[in-house]
């Protein structure tokens, strides 16, 4: 009975940790000179461990969930790109909208990665 309870508890802890590690990213880039729209959707359940760790590092380095969105998205620069990034990780979900002129330096590696994925069709 004790072994069963320990196994059940460990299984529950594993499921909780697994859900916290899972994430889903939706990315859209619009604008630019040609006005081409590119999209990417990334589900961690479909990735290998190395790719998951790479993306988690990019999210962490950008301080995505700590980032405070400002009201000013555009500085009226023609042909700039607009980015919409939504990340759901565990119980957290956040959407951030940026333009080329408002992208913080910490977001550049994440946006470059997502842009590359959107060009490859994920």
Residue 83 pLDDT > 70, yes or no?
yes
Which residues are CB-contacts of 88 (< 8 A; sequence separation ≥ 6)? 23, 24
Beta strands, E only, the chain: 23-31, 38-43, 81-89, 92-99
Q: Which domain holds residue 90?
A: 22-120
Q: What is the pLDDT of residue 73?
A: 57
Residue 105: inside a domain: yes
Between strands 81-89 and 23-31, the pairing is antiparallel
Q: How many domains does the chain have?
A: 1
Q: Mean pLDDT throughout 32-60?
A: 93
- Per-chain mean pLDDT for the chain: 82
- φ, ψ dihedrals at 39, nearest 5°: -130, 155
Residue 83 lies in a domain: yes
**CA 51 centroid distance within chain:** 13
pLDDT tens for residues 88-107?
998 899 999 999 988 999 99
Residue 14 lies in a domain: no
**Spatial distance between the Cα atoms of 111 and 55, rounded to a whole number of angstroms:** 11
Residue 11 maps to a domain: no
Inside any domain, residue 92: yes
Domain presence at residue 13: no
In a domain, 3, yes or no: no
In a domain, 43, yes or no: yes
- pTM here? 0.78
| Whole-angstrom distance, CA of residue 82 vs CA of residue 32 | 8
Extended strands (E) in 32-76: 38-43
């Amino acid at each position: 009975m004790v072994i069963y309870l320990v196994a059940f508890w460990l299984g529950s802890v594993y499921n909780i940790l697994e859900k916290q590690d899972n994430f889903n990213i939706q990315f859209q880039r619009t604008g630019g000179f040609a006005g081409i729209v590119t999209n990417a959707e990334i589900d961690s359940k479909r990735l290998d461990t190395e790719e998951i760790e790479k993306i988690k590092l990019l999210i962490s380095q950008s301080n995505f969930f700590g980032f405070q969105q400002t009201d000013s998205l555009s500085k009226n620069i023609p042909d700039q790109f607009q980015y919409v990034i939504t990340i759901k990780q565990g119980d957290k979900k956040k959407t951030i909208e940026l333009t080329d002129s408002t992208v913080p330096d910490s977001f550049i590696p994440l946006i470059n990665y997502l842009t590359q994925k959107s060009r490859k069709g994920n």
